[in-house]
């Protein structure tokens, strides 16, 4: 199975948000079992190492991901891009890197 493009990820995220906004049962599933809610929309399992949580909009929440500890003291340009953030760049890269737990055919 092929990795998803950033546009496909955005489309599925929009679908997930729309359903969570109008379906109280699904919204509660997002809060209680986020991986299952994700699977229902995306049709794929997330890798075990991928953490997912949904929050109610009841204030501000900031989660910062630290880069891997570097023994040589510098990050490569690729790793700097990886930790720089943006609109779901990490999710897009995770989709490509992990292919949502499916092996790609060579």
| Residue whose C-alpha is closest to residue 42's, from 19, 25, 23 | 19
Which tokens sit at 105?
A: 């055919």
Banded model confidence at residue 100, pLDDT cuts 50, 70, 90? very low
Exposure string over 22-56, b if 16+ CB within 10 A, otherwise e: eeeebbebbeeeeeebbeebbebebeeebeeebee
pLDDT digits (tens, 9 = 90+) for 35-63: 999 999 999 999 999 889 998 888 887 77
26 and 47 Cβ atoms separated by less than 8 Å? no
pLDDT digits (tens, 9 = 90+) for 64-98: 888 778 777 676 777 666 666 544 444 554 454 44
């Amino acid at each position: 199975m092929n990795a998803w493009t950033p546009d496909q990820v955005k489309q599925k995220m929009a679908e997930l948000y729309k359903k969570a906004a109008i379906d109280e049962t699904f919204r509660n599933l997002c809060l209680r079992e986020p991986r299952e809610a994700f699977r229902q929309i995306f049709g794929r399992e997330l890798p075990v190492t991928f953490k997912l949580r949904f929050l109610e909009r009841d204030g501000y929440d900031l989660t910062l991901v630290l880069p891997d500890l570097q023994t040589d003291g510098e990050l490569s340009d690729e790793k700097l891009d990886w930790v720089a953030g943006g609109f779901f760049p990490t999710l897009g890269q995770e989709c490509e890197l992990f292919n949502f737990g499916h092996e790609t055919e060579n």
